[in-house]
């Protein structure tokens, strides 16, 4: 039922317009639906490769990306597809990637999650060596600073990745050089089967920021608007020359490490608590409904649009061709905006 009456919006979040709040709702619902459908296809044996579900973590993924501008860069890891979608990755090309087709982001070289679109929307391709995105983000932020560009870099990693030396080196260097970077730790309480208490001996990851000389905050990953507020503050600090910040956003990994993992090591009560009380999609939807930002019809329309986007993406991926064997050596370099097979040869197809 379409409403024609003017709704009185309550003060959901005075910083954000109705359109921004609706976009946040669309994104969390899109990422939840995408995750569920891809898992379903995987379980039916219709999706090859691996899936790394980010279900339950949409509050972190969408919240941190909302304050980024198009020229700001995002350095994600294996569980951050939702953040990449929020930054602008195309659902059709993501699905073509998973099915190994030439319209995928790696042009059929990978049927998996090593996805990025640096030349399209400044999303760095996911790399497996955790947290390798951190030092690369450090380099990008250093370049922005040295060139006097107004952009910032944001890197995301998991709680387990904070035990790796690269994590500490990146934070240290960014603070010494006062780089325009935001460090996000997506603390989903587990690194594969290792719980937080086996990973670090401080109560929170956020408090480690003090050791490097930067602000650190811990936010509730179930509340996308709280995450967005923390991220916006950090982004503005970085852009304004105030240097790096650390954000620890807490949620639970609802599914296993990857599709093959039933995650029996996660206590049933903990999972039930998070699914019942800390579902970021449900929390945002209920809040926007009760505050009059959306009504039931608009929520249904958003859901319909999402389902159509998924179907269109699926059709697109299935009809996209596989690459030819001789194409595998092409497109390894980019020169003047064009993919080429070798540096200095020119030609090739337009980079995307
Ligand atoms: C340097 C390195 N060591 C080990 C691995 C294997 N590995 C892949 S994901 C993962 C768990 C990572 O946990 P966390 O950082 O908490 O991220 P999550 O999967 O929970 O999102 C491990 C150990 C790796 N990719 N890189
Ligand atoms: Mg983790």
Q: Report helix, strand or coil for 200.
A: coil
Task: State whether the beta carbon of 198 lies less than 6 angstroms from ligand 1.
Answer: no
CA of 200 from ligand 2 middle (Å) equals: 12
CA distance 269 to 265: 12
**Could you read off the pLDDT of 22-52 as tens digits, one per residue?**
999 999 999 999 999 999 999 999 999 999 9
> Tokens representing 32?
């939840």
pLDDT, residue 335, reads: 61
Query: What local confidence, expressed as pLDDT, does residue 5 receive?
Result: 46
Please, what are the domains in the chain?
Answer: 22-318 (3.40.50.970), 322-352 (no CATH)
Distance 190 CA to ligand 2 centre (A): 4
Find the DSSP H helices in 10-129: 18-43, 58-65, 81-87, 91-98, 118-121
Maximum Cα interatomic distance, the chain, rounded to a whole number of Å = 63
Note whether 320 and 108 are within 8 A (CB).
Answer: no
pLDDT at 2: 42
- Please name the residues in contact with 317: beta carbons below 8 A apart, sequence gap of 6 or more: 92, 95, 96, 98, 99, 101, 103, 104
Residue of minimum CA distance from atom 13 in ligand 1: 191
Question: Which pLDDT belongs to residue 330?
Answer: 74
The preferred substitution site among 129, 158, 256 for testing ligand 1, maximizing ligand atoms within 8 Å of CB, is 158
Using only C-alpha atoms, the chain has a radius of gyration, in whole angstroms, of 20
Task: Render pLDDT for 252-280 as a digit per residue (tens, 0 to 9).
Answer: 999 999 999 999 999 999 999 999 999 99
**Interval between CA 290 and ligand 2 midpoint (Å):** 32
Instruction: With H, G, I as helix, E, B as strand and everything else as coil, classify residue 85.
Output: helix
Which pLDDT value is given to residue 284? 97
Question: Which ligand 1 atom lies nearest to the CA of residue 158?
Answer: 15
d(CA 284, CA 84): 20
Residue 174, pLDDT score = 98
Determine the atom of ligand 1 nearest the C-alpha atom of 79.
Answer: 21
CA 248 to chain CA centroid, nearest Å: 14
**CA–centroid distance, residue 187 to ligand 2 (Å):** 5
The pLDDT > 70 percentage for the chain reads 91
**How far, in Å, is the centroid of ligand 2 from the Cα of 56?**
12
Which residues of the chain are under the pLDDT cut of 70?
A: 1-8, 11, 332, 334-352
Predicted pLDDT at 3 = 43
The residue whose two tokens read 């009059």 is 292
User: Mind giving me the DSSP string for 97-163?
Assistant: HHTT-TTSTTTTS-SSS---BHHHH-BPPP-SSTTTHHHHHHHHHHHHHHHT----EEEEEETGGGG
What is the spatial distance between Cα 224 and Cα 14, in angstroms, rounded to a whole number?
15
Among candidates 104, 30, 55, which has minimal Cα distance to 113?
Answer: 104
Does residue 10 have its Cβ closer than 6 Å to ligand 1? no
Vertex 287 angle, CA 255 and 206, to 5°: 55
């Amino acid at each position: 039922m379409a409403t024609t009456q003017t709704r009185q919006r309550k003060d959901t979040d005075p910083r954000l317009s109705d359109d921004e709040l609706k976009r946040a709702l669309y994104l969390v619902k899109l990422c939840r639906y995408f995750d569920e459908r891809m898992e379903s296809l995987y379980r039916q044996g219709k999706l090859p490769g691996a899936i790394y579900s980010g279900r339950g973590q949409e509050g972190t993924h969408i919240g941190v990306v909302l304050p980024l501008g198009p020229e700001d860069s995002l350095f994600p890891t294996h569980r951050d597809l939702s953040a990449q979608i929020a930054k602008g990755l195309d659902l059709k090309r993501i699905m073509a990637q998973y099915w190994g087709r030439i319209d995928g982001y790696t042009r059929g070289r990978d049927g998996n999650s090593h996805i990025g679109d640096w030349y399209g929307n400044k999303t760095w391709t996911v790399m497996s060596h955790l947290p390798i995105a951190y030092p690369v983000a450090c380099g990008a932020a250093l370049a922005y600073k040295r060139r006097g560009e107004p952009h910032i870099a944001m890197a995301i990693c998991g709680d387990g990745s904070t035990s790796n030396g690269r994590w500490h080196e990146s934070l240290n260097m960014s603070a010494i050089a006062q780089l325009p970077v935001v460090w996000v730790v997506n603390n989903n309480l587990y690194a594969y089967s290792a719980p937080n208490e086996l990973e670090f001996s401080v109560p929170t990851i956020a408090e480690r920021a003090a050791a490097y000389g930067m602000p650190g905050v811990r936010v509730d990953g179930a509340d996308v608007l709280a995450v967005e507020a923390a991220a916006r503050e950090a982004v503005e600090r970085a852009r304004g020359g105030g240097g790096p910040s650390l954000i620890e956003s807490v949620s639970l990994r609802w599914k296993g490490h990857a599709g093959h993992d039933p995650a029996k090591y996660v206590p049933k009560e903990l999972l039930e608590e998070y699914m019942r009380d800390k579902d970021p999609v449900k929390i945002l939807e209920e809040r926007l409904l009760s505050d009059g930002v959306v009504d039931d019809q608009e929520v249904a329309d958003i859901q319909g649009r999402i389902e159509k986007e998924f179907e269109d993406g699926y059709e697109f991926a299935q009809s996209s061709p596989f690459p030819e064997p001789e194409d595998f050596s092409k497109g390894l370099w980019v020169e003047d905006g064009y993919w080429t097979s070798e540096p200095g040869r020119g030609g090739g197809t337009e980079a995307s």
